[in-house]
Structure formats: C-alpha cells, structure tokens
C-alpha cells in the first residue's frame, strides 16, 4: 500500500485521437480529456488555468503547435500525468479548519466508533491527501486522543505524484502552517533552517498511495474505512462526477463510519441521503445505511433528477431501488411524506434537508422566516437547498443575503465563490476568494 502503483485512469478515458480534423483539436478537447481522466471541470479552476497549464507543458516539451502537443498527449501516458500535475490545485495546510480536527477527536471517542473498533483497528482514509498535511494532522489528532500507533491505519491517496513525493519527504515550509495555533509544530517537528521536518513517529503513521478516485480499479472492496476525509475535491467536479465520487465514498465507508467533506461541498450530499453528524462548522456526515432499519431511506444514492422523477410518478408505479446494504429480498420502505406541518426548529429543518426532503425543507425554511424573520442561517440553508436541486442561479441571491446578514459567514462565502466561478463571473468569484482569504487570516479562525 505504501508504494506508488501505476496510475489507474478511468476506463475508456485513455487518450483517444478524436475523429475531428487536427486543426479543430483545441483546448476544448484537452479540457474534455482532463474531465474524462481525472474529473476536472475546467470551469471550477477557470478555463484560463487549463490554457496556462497546457502552454506550460508545451514550452517544457519545446512545442509551439497545439495540434502537435495534442498528438503527444494522446500518445503518452507520461505527458498526460505531467498535464495533470500542472492543473491540480494542491492547496492545503496543517489543521486546515481547526473545528474539523476537534470533530475528529469527538467522533473517534463516541459510542458508535468505540464499539466498532473495540476488536478492530481504526481505519481512516485521506482522499485527496495532496502534500500530506491533512493525513499527518489526522495522525497527530489521534495520538493526542490517546490512540497508540498500532491501533489505527491512515491511508492517504492523491492523483499527483509530485504532491505525494513531497508528502513522503515530510519537510514543510511556512505556507503549510497557516492555522492560528502552532503548538503542534513544537511537539511534532524539528526546525532545520527555514523548514520543519516532521518526526518519524508521525510519518510512519500514514501510508501514501497514488490513485485516481474515478479510476475503475480504485480501492476495490467495500466498507473499509471508519472515517473518510474527502475535503476540497468535489469542488473541482461537475454534478455527474460528484455523484460518481460519492458512490465510491459510499462503497468505502463503513455503515457506522463518518465522512468529512469541505465547507463548500455539503450541497451535493443533501441530494444523497447522508445524515449530518451535526457538528458545527465541521461538515461531517454519516452514511444513509447508518439509519435504523425502520427509518431506512429507499435508496443509498440518487440524483436529484431521480428524486424529482420519482415524486412525479404515481405511488403505485414508483420503482423501488434496493439499498446497497439491504438484502435483495428485503421489502422496500416507501419514502414517507416528511411532515404535515412544517417543523419549526433549526435542527428539524436541517434534518429534512439532510435527508433529501428538499421541498419540505424549503417550505419549512419559508415558514421559519415568516415566524422569526430573515436570518443568515435560513438564507444559507435556502441557498444550499437550491444548489442541491441543481438551481445555481436561484442559490446565489440566498448566499448573498446570508452574507449581507452575516458578513463573516464562511460557508455562504465559499459557496458563493464557487457558484460565481461556475456562472462565469470570474471578477465576482475572485472578490469572494479575497474576502475568504481575509476571513481565514482573522485570529480565531
């Protein structure tokens, strides 16, 4: 597991010489190739970033003709990997979002996991791990929680060979230490000049591996991990690719496990039936299969389109979709109408949204606004619900309102930045990113 294996690209997505004339092979074809291979939605990083990476690779290969480069890209897996290295965003740092590691400490101590790991090793996955700061932060957190090294295993996977090499070397500069409290650096690192070398004890707790989450042979097997960190990956994917990635995570996560995702990524989980672990600012979810059988939802993973179609169909003709964890013969439990009266409490409304009852959650939010007035919380949730329903245009004004009511609303800011970028409003997205940077630099964040 510790050794890098050949990169598994998505089956059927090997570089293919398209049947278009050489002159028509443009950046668009390169964007499509990157999407098919690694899932990258060019709009998420800006099309100019893909163009710049292509230019960089062409210069490195001594080429000036796009068509010649396209031919080389199709002929060489090595060049494709180099292009991937040039487009990935390896941005990460130790203890990125400190609430996340507090949440990790609380879930590994909670009843569910304690029972599960009594006679088992705690298994965790950091996907993507980039240059290693995330899995090493996980290791430090577990040691500080009193887990001995032989009671847990951390697998750390990324598509970038370059990032993995840095991760394995475990030598870090100032940029990797952006969290406010740096006490952990004194405990676990040795300073050599302007760099910090991670102690071997922590290095040895993590097994790094090259992998593409969309590869057909990505981590075969089921229900392997108690905890999966999949933070700041889905933001680079379009909806269909996010769905494919969530299916992989569902397969790998144990029914009693926890999924940690990034602040801008909770929207997509709403349309699956992940259950919020309700840990403030940490974005932690439990899989649908963790619900008691009587309340088990109809399907593990469904797109919003499926949901909408199912609702439109007469009840008697609705297809029943068996859960991955249910025996084939188990009777399907019909989706119950969520409520007759909209619930009023924040918890109840959030639960509705988390369970995928988006219409009901939206109505309950509106009723909450009628009763209690507009708040950043309701606006943010309304934005998330619109976004989960695939309606970015309607989500944007809600996130703006949330920010008007609470100018430091981190989640609203991250969602808005992403949506503006996707809508082609690069200026608006950059302004929002600048606000985010200022906010994360504030003490206490």
Ligand X SMILES: C[S@@+](CC[C@H](N)C(=O)[O-])C[C@H]1O[C@@H](n2cnc3c(N)ncnc32)[C@H](O)[C@@H]1O
Applying CB under 6 A, which residues contact ligand X? 38-39, 88-92, 96, 128, 130, 134, 158-160, 163, 212-214, 231-233, 262
Query: Which helix H or strand E contains 79, and what residues bound it?
Result: helix 77-87
Nearer residue to ligand X within complex by CB, 81 or 362: 81
> Other CB atoms closer than 10 Å to residue 333's CB: what's the count?
15
Nearer residue to ligand X within complex by CB, 134 or 256: 134
Shortest distance (Å) from residue 426 CB to ligand X? 19
Q: Report yes or no: 416 and 399 within 8 Å, Cβ to Cβ.
A: yes
Torsion sign, CA atoms 307, 363, 280, 134: positive
Shortest distance (Å) from residue 283 CB to ligand X? 11
Shortest distance (Å) from residue 100 CB to ligand X? 9
Residue partners of 21: CB distance under 8 A and separation at least 6? none
Shortest distance (Å) from residue 230 CB to ligand X? 7
What backbone phi and psi angles, to 5 degrees, belong to 3? Answer: -90, 145
d(CA 196, CA 193): 8
Nearer residue to ligand X within complex by CB, 155 or 158: 158
Helix (H, G, I), strand (E, B) or coil at 195: strand
Nearer residue to ligand X within complex by CB, 84 or 395: 84
Nearer residue to ligand X within complex by CB, 311 or 434: 434
For 35-67, b/e burial (b = at least 16 CB within 10 A) is: bbbbbbbbbbbeeeebeebbeebbeeeeeeebe
Nearer residue to ligand X within complex by CB, 88 or 352: 88
Shortest distance (Å) from residue 46 CB to ligand X? 15
d(CA 202, CA 4): 19
d(CA 154, CA 361): 37
Shortest distance (Å) from residue 17 CB to ligand X? 23
> Other CB atoms closer than 10 Å to residue 199's CB: what's the count?
13
Smallest CA-to-CA distance from 125 within 259, 232, 283 is with: 259
Q: Report yes or no: 208 and 163 within 8 Å, Cβ to Cβ.
A: no
What backbone phi and psi angles, to 5 degrees, belong to 207? Answer: -110, 115
Nearer residue to ligand X within complex by CB, 13 or 381: 13
Nearer residue to ligand X within complex by CB, 262 or 343: 262
Shortest distance (Å) from residue 378 CB to ligand X? 28
Shortest distance (Å) from residue 213 CB to ligand X? 4
């Amino acid at each position: 597991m510790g050794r890098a294996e050949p990169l598994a690209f998505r089956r059927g997505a090997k570089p293919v010489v398209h049947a278009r004339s050489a002159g028509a092979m443009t950046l668009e074809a390169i964007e499509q190739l990157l999407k098919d291979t690694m899932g990258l939605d060019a709009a998420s990083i800006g099309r100019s970033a893909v163009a710049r990476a292509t230019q960089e690779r062409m210069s490195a290969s001594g080429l000036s003709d796009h068509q010649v480069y396209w031919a080389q890209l199709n002929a060489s897996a090595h060049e494709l990997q180099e292009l991937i290295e040039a487009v990935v965003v390896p941005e990460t740092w130790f203890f990125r979002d400190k609430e996340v590691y507090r949440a990790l400490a609380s879930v590994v101590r909670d009843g569910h996991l304690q029972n599960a790991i009594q006679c088992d090793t705690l298994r965790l996955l950091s996907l993507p791990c980039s240059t290693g700061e995330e899995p090493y932060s996980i290791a430090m957190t577990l040691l500080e929680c009193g887990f001995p090294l032989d009671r847990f295993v951390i697998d750390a996977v990324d598509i970038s060979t370059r990032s993995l090499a840095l991760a394995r070397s475990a030598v870090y500069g100032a940029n990797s230490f952006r969290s406010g409290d740096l006490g952990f650096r004194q405990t676990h690192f040795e300073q050599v000049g302007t760099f910090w070398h991670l102690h071997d004890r922590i290095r040895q707790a993590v097994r790094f591996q090259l992998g593409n989450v969309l590869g057909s042979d990505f981590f075969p097997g089921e229900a392997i991990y108690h905890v999966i960190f999949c933070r700041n990956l889905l933001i680079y994917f379009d909806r269909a690719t996010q769905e494919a990635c969530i299916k992989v995570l569902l397969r790998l996560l144990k029914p009693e496990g926890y999924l940690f995702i990034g602040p801008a990524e909770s929207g997509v989980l709403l349309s699956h039936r992940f259950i919020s672990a309700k840990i403030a600012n940490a974005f932690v979810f439990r899989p649908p299969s963790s619900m008691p059988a009587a309340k088990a939802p109809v399907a593990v993973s469904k797109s919003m389109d499926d949901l909408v179609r199912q609702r439109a169909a007469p009840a008697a003709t609705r297809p029943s979709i068996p859960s991955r964890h249910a025996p084939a013969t188990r009777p399907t439990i019909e989706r119950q109408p969520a409520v007759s009266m909209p619930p009023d409490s924040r918890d109840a409304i959030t639960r509705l949204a988390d369970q995928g009852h988006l219409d009901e959650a939206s109505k309950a939010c509106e009723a909450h606004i009628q009763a209690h007035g507009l708040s950043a919380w309701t606006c943010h949730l309304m934005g998330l619900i619109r976004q989960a329903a695939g309606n970015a245009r309607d989500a944007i004004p809600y996130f703006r309102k949330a920010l008007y009511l609470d100018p430091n609303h981190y989640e609203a800011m991250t969602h808005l930045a992403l949506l503006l970028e996707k809508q082609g409003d690069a200026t608006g997205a950059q302004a929002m990113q600048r606000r985010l940077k200022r906010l994360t630099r504030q003490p206490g964040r």
